[in-house]
Structure 1
Amino acid sequence: MSIQIGMKTSKVHGVSSAELANHWGGEAGALASPMMIIFIEMTCMSITDHLLEPDQITVGYRFNINHLAPTPPEWKVRVDAELIDVDGRMMTYRIEVHDAAGKVADGTHTRFAVSNTRFHERMQGRKEAASVLDSTPP
């Protein structure tokens, strides 16, 4: 099987207290946007990553997500994702997120296929360069 536009899936994720905005410094006791984006990434990866070359992985490249409504703790969200564009190693997915009360989010997410080996070599090079400068981020 090869990667083809139109491939889609849905995944259900539970919302725990550790995934609420107030657990991460926000004030809302609802699903945090960064956690929702992790759910979106996991769902998109499940569509295509198993079809990549053996040394390839995908990395998040672009997020165009509208977080439309709050999801309370202990609820579940369903992420629906469909591959809508493939441009070389770049894959773009249309996403929607729903909970029991309706639509929570919509938008697009783009992932980029890269060599796992090269990715980790590049990360190691960045770590070594940072230790020469200053390991404390700005």
Structure 2
Amino acid sequence: MDARDFITTGMSAERTLVVPVERTVGHFVSGMPFVYATPMMILEMEMASGDAIRSALQPGWVTVGTEVDIRHLAAALVGATVRTTAKVVAVERRVIRFEVEAFEGPRKLGEGRHARGLVNVEMFNKRLGA
């Protein structure tokens, strides 16, 4: 399957999250501040990227994260509303590349690039022996 046949540049999605305590650095690491954790921001960026293309995927196919290149630019407190965006910027045979950003209001919290690989679930599970 070739992603270029059904994924196009410009496809996009947006997610909104009110930061809970469970998504903060302080929740995971004792003594750290209770601010939005970088891995949790990356999770939202990956989820938005998947959302951007999910409806175009053929039955039995999914995408999995393969690359992240993210800069966390500013902190967000518990209760902050974070908006995460993802836009397809390049499509290869089995790889879809995204530009991702996160904001609290107009303030940019993070930015970068993310890639997802196209995977046939049945073949993937067979290969893993699942």
Q: More deviation in 102-111 or 27-36?
A: 27-36
1:111 paired with 2:79, answer no
Give the structure with the higher percent helix: 1
Letter in 2 for 1:103: K
RMSD, aligned α-carbons: 1.7
Distance 2:123 2:112 in 1: 30
How much does 1:122 deviate?
3.2
What is the aligned partner in structure 1 of residue 46 from structure 2? 41
The answer to which structure, 1 or 2, has the higher relative contact order (CA under 8 A, 6+ apart) is: 2
What is the aligned partner in structure 1 of residue 26 from structure 2? 22
Out of 9, 31, 53, the position equivalent to 1:5 is 9
Out of 69, 74, 89, the position equivalent to 1:84 is 89
Residues 28, 101 of structure 1: CA spacing in aligned structure 2 closer, same or farther, 3 A cutoff?
Answer: farther
Residues 121, 24 of structure 1: CA spacing in aligned structure 2 closer, same or farther, 3 A cutoff?
Answer: farther
What is the aligned partner in structure 2 of residue 55 from structure 1? 60
- Any idea what the Cα deviations from partners look like across 1:20-57, whole Å, max 9, x if unmatched? 01111261210111111111111111111221121111
**What stretches of structure 1 move > 4 A for 4+ residues in a row?**
none
- Any idea what the Cα deviations from partners look like across 1:95-137, whole Å, max 9, x if unmatched? 1110136000000000001011122233336xxxxxxxxxxxx
Residues 122, 24 of structure 1: CA spacing in aligned structure 2 closer, same or farther, 3 A cutoff?
Answer: farther
Letter in 1 for 2:6: S
Question: Aligned residues: percent identity?
Answer: 27
Unaligned residue ranges in structure 2 (runs of 5+): none
Distance 1:22 1:114 in 2: 35
Rg (Cα) greater in structure: 1
Equivalent runs, 1:117-132 vs 2, <5 Å: 117-124=122-129
